[in-house]
Amino acid sequence: MDNSFIALGLMSGTSLDGVDASIIKSDGENNLKIIDNKFLSYPEKFKKKLSLFIQNTNNKIDIEKNINTYKSLERDLTLHHSAISQNIIDENNSKIQLVGFHGQTILHKPSHGYSIQMGDANLLSQILKEKVVYNFRANDISNSGQGAPLTPIYHMLLTKKFQIKNPVLFLNIGGISNYTYCFKNTMTAKDIGPGNVLIDEYLKKTKGINYDKNGDIAASGNINIDIINQFYEHEFYNVEEKHSYDRKEFDFNFVKGLNFEDAIATLTFFTALIISKNIKKIFLNNIEIILCGGGRKNLTLVKHLKKLTNYDIKLIDEFNIDGDFIESQAFAYLSIRSYLNKPISYPSTTKVLSPISGGEIKINY
C-alpha cells in the first residue's frame, strides 16, 4: 500500500526575487521523488513595495499601524503564489494533496516570541481548492525554539537519497547562511552568519542591482583587510552566541568609505570569513560540505570558502538535484510531515524543548 502524498511546496526567500515552487511525492519519511520545480519572479513594482515595507517594519506595532498596506501586499503576494502553483500543477497534470506555503518572512524575532510570514493561506486554499499547510514556525517558537532553521529534516532525507555514509554539512547560503550536519542518525543545525544579505543590500542601496552575478564585481575589487580585521571578531558574528538571525540585524555600513568594487570584494570576503570561521570553530575534523542556496552561484564567494575552510566543498547540483529549489522541496516535505503530525523541528536544530510538529492546516473550498 502506497502511503505517499503528492505535495506542492512554495518558498519566497529573503532576496525577494520571486517564488520557488516544487512538486514532490513522499511518505514524509524516507521515500522521495522530485516531480518538478518552477520559479516565478516578482514584478519589479511589487518587489520594491514589498522591500520598502519590510525595511520600515521593525516590530508588530509597525504592522498594526500599516495594516492596510500589509493586507494589500499580502493579497498580491498570495496571488503570485497561486499563479505559479496553478501553472506547475497544470504543466504536470498533477493531483496535489497538500500545499506547503511558507510565505514571505517580514519579521523573525523568536526572542520576542514570534516570526511573521506574510501570506493568506485561506485565500490560497480557496483559489487552488487544496489543503494548505502554513505558519510552520509558530509552534516551535511557542515551545522555546528559535523557529529556524526548518530544512534540516529534509537535508537528512537527502543524505539517504544520495547514499552519503560519511559526515556531511549542508551549507545553505541564502540571505542568511545556515548549516545542517548529518551523520548516521545525528542531525544538528543553526544559522551560521550572513549569506548574500550584506552583498545584496549594498548593491541595491548603491546601484539598484539585485545581486553580484557569478561574483564578478567582487572579483574585480580589492579586499580591504584592515576593515575586515576591525569587524570580523565582533561578538555579533560569534555563532556560539546566536542560533538564528533576522536579515535586518546585518549592516554593511563598515564598508561605506570604500569605492564600489572594493566594498563588494570586502563584503564577499568578510561573509566567507565569518562562515568558515564559525564552521571550523564547531567542526574540528575535516568534513564534506554540500553547498545549497543562491550563494553557491557566487563563484568568488565559493572560491574564498574553499580556501578558508580547506574542506571538500561540492555544489548540491553535482548530485543531480537543482540547488535552487531545496527549500521549496523542503516545505512540500514539511507539509506532509505536519499533516501526519510528525516532528519537523528538534532540540538539536531549533533548540525547541522536544521534537515537535508544526504547520497549521487551512481548508477553504
Question: What confidence tens digit (pLDDT) does each residue in 263-298 have?
Answer: 999 999 999 999 999 999 888 777 899 999 999 999
53-77 residue pLDDT tens: 999 999 999 999 999 999 999 999 9
Provide the pLDDT confidence category of residue 30 given band limits of 50, 70 and 90. Answer: very high
114-131 residue pLDDT tens: 999 999 999 999 999 999
In degrees to the nearest 10, what's the CA dihedral of 46, 51, 57, 59?
100
Q: What are phi and psi of 100, to 5 degrees?
A: -95, 110
Provide the pLDDT confidence category of residue 88 given band limits of 50, 70 and 90. Answer: very high
pLDDT score at 218: 98
In degrees to the nearest 10, what's the CA dihedral of 273, 151, 321, 29?
150
Burial of 88 (0-12, 13-18, 19+ CB in 10 A): buried
Q: How far apart are CA 23 and CA 10, in angstroms?
A: 9
Is residue 357 within 8 A of residue 143, CB to CB? The reply is: no
Does residue 231 surpass a pLDDT of 90?
no
Does residue 233 surpass a pLDDT of 90?
no
Domain 5-148+324-362: homologous superfamily in CATH: ATPase, nucleotide binding domain (3.30.420.40)
Closest CA to 137 of 172, 102, 112, 171: 102
Using the Cα atoms of residue 334, residue 336, residue 337 and residue 338 in order, give the sign of their dihedral. positive
pLDDT score at 130: 97
Closest CA to 325 of 22, 83, 16: 22
Mean pLDDT, all residues of the chain:
94
Using the Cα atoms of residue 270, residue 274, residue 277 and residue 279 in order, give the sign of their dihedral. negative
Q: How far apart are CA 20 and CA 117, in angstroms?
A: 15
Is residue 350 within 8 A of residue 149, CB to CB? The reply is: yes
Cell of 217: 564585481
- State the amino acid at position 104 in one-letter form: Q
pLDDT score at 37: 97
Provide the pLDDT confidence category of residue 2 given band limits of 50, 70 and 90. Answer: confident
Provide the pLDDT confidence category of residue 322 given band limits of 50, 70 and 90. Answer: very high
Residue 40, classed as helix, strand or coil, is strand
Q: How far apart are CA 286 and CA 289, in angstroms?
A: 9
Closest CA to 107 of 60, 48, 175, 46: 60
**Where in the chain are all domains bearing CATH 3.30.420.40?**
5-148+324-362, 152-310
- State the amino acid at position 186 in one-letter form: T
Cell of 316: 548540491
In degrees to the nearest 10, what's the CA dihedral of 53, 196, 321, 171?
-120
User: In which region does residue 97 sit, left (phi positive, over 0), alpha (psi from -120 to 50) or beta (all else)?
Assistant: alpha
Domain 152-310: homologous superfamily in CATH: ATPase, nucleotide binding domain (3.30.420.40)
Cell of 319: 548530485
Provide the pLDDT confidence category of residue 14 given band limits of 50, 70 and 90. Answer: confident
Provide the pLDDT confidence category of residue 243 given band limits of 50, 70 and 90. Answer: confident
pLDDT score at 239: 64
pLDDT score at 273: 94
pLDDT score at 238: 67
User: In which region does residue 93 sit, left (phi positive, over 0), alpha (psi from -120 to 50) or beta (all else)?
Assistant: left
Provide the pLDDT confidence category of residue 248 given band limits of 50, 70 and 90. Answer: confident
